[in-house]
Structure 1
Amino acid sequence: MSTTAVYEFADRPVKKLVLFDVDGTLSLARQSATQEMMDLLREVRKKVVIGFVGGSDFVKISEQLTVGGVKAIDAFDYGFAENGLIAYRTGKQLASQSFIGWVGEEKYKKLVNFILHYVADIDIPIKRGTFVEFRNGMINVSPIGRNATIQERIEFEKYDKAWFS
């Protein structure tokens, strides 16, 4: 069954917007949502306006929420990526701002250089690359690197809790 049917906002009995966090709610962090979850959301969408929210960029969120050939953008009425800076309503992107546009390229470069030097000096069990990832609304810093596997992330979380809690 397709979830691409768009229900008009005014046709839904309850006029509420229900937002769902992506990582840890709709799916495990950086993993795909299940078909069961998307089927449940389709049923909820018949009653209320739904949306997703997440800190990742839209490409990553879309990878997680595109299930069974149905694109994430078609399964939700609203989508908020990068902590809300990038927003979609009924599949169309709304106006947004950029972090670099706000602080300027020179200040951004200075900040990234500081972060990279700091991360380089941290002695942790593993490092897997892409330590700083620019997003329109924020900078994502990962001491072990965005390229770490799920298992490496789990192990690092244990290490982090043991040493830095």
Structure 2
Amino acid sequence: MTKKLLLLFDIDGTLTEPRQKITPEMIEQLEQLKDKENIDLGFVDGSDYCKQKEQLGQDKLNLFKWKFNENGLITFKENKEIHSNNSKYSKYSKNFKDYMGEKHFTKFINIILKNLAKTEIPKKRGTFIEYRDSVLNISPIGRACNQDERDEFEIYDELHNVRKNLIESIKQDWKNYCYFNEDSKPELQKINYSIGGQISFDVFPEGWDKTYCLQFVENEYDEIHFFGDKTYKGGNDYEIFNDKRVIGHKVETYKDTIKLLKLINK
């Protein structure tokens, strides 16, 4: 009996160059896979629908049976939304702000802003914090930078660990706040940080990483194969790559993904 497979992809650095559009060669491989009766395709990404549509294209989104926006806190199956983090199906039923409470969330933002201001790097632009329902995306250089500046920051970050150091500073300040604040509660310290893409990292409540999406597919397939590039500890693919429900495939760039898909398509 032929096994039923789900091929699940990260987007940035796996299906595309970071923040770039999907290539015709990648589309060709995905189209061939979609034609196989025993294979379904899906993607899981921390970004929202608009960014995914920008990179993959509106028409090519239909290649994917499963679309997991914001790590699966918003889930589409066959273009129909079947789950959102504010729905009755969610075990959390809250966004990040509601999870913390307005007072604590505002303090958390202030701590992030303070540490961003203290971060010394050659260039800074704009949009340093992007609030999504389930995730805060933090960028030391700012998401308003152009592609050349993205590339420059990525190299600088590899040499100086800007994002890693910023995360550690935020963690320590938040730990101190939670310890000394009389209104603190245990959930406030259950916050995860994961580096992704070229210029930023995500912050979210514990359990809201990419493994969140697996609850919707783990009983529908014989095997779930995940493809991602940030599979190291602290990377935003780490948890799902190492989950026992998944067979993980590490790639360095989208070109590695194409090579693996060609082998499957043979």
SS at match of 2:30: helix
Mapped pair 1:23 → 2:12: yes
1:105-144 alignment to 2 at 5 Å? 105-144=102-141
**Deviation readout 1:68-126 (Å, 9 max, x if unpaired):** x6152x22100112122221110012222222232222222211111112101211111
Normalised by the length of structure 2, the TM-score is 0.53
What is the CA-CA distance between 1:60 and the residue it aligns to?
Answer: 0.4
Please, which moves more after superposition, 138-147 or 90-99? 90-99
User: Among residues 34, 38, 49, which one is paired with 2:27 in the alignment?
Assistant: 38
Structure 1 stretches lacking a partner, 5+ long:
1-12
1:10-33 deviation line (CA, Å, top 9, x unaligned): xxx652211111011110111100
1:6 paired residue number: none
Q: Does 1:54 align with 2:55?
A: no
Deviations 1:42-74 (A, max 9, x none): 1101221110111211210111011xx6152x2
Q: Are residue 87 (structure 1) and residue 75 (structure 2) matched?
A: yes
TM-score computed with the length of structure 1 as normaliser: 0.83
Which deviations, in whole Å up to 9, do the C-alpha atoms of 1:124-152 show, x marking residues without a partner?
11111110111122110000001111211
Determine helix, strand or coil for the equivalent of 2:68. Answer: strand
Aligned equivalents of 1:79, 1:31: Cα separation in 2 = 18
- What is the CA–CA distance in structure 2 between the aligned matches of 1:99 and 1:150, rounded to whole Å? 29
Q: Provide the residue aligned with 2:161 in structure 1.
A: 164
Unaligned runs of 5+ in 2: 86-94, 163-266
Larger RCO: Structure 1 or Structure 2 (Cα < 8 Å, ≥ 6 residues apart)?
2
Amino acid of the structure 2 residue aligned with 1:130: T
Q: Which residue of 2 aligns with 1:75?
A: 63
Any conservation in 1 of the 2:76–2:83 contact (CA below 8 Å)? Answer: no
**Identity, % of aligned pairs?**
44
CA–CA separation in structure 2 for the residues paired with 1:15 and 1:46 = 13
Distance in 2 between residues matched to 1:37 and 1:164, nearest whole Å: 31
Work out the CA distance in 2 between the residues paired with 1:136 and 1:29.
22
Where do 4+ consecutive residues of structure 1 move more than 2 Å? none
Q: CA RMSD in A?
A: 1.7
Amino acid at match of 1:93: E
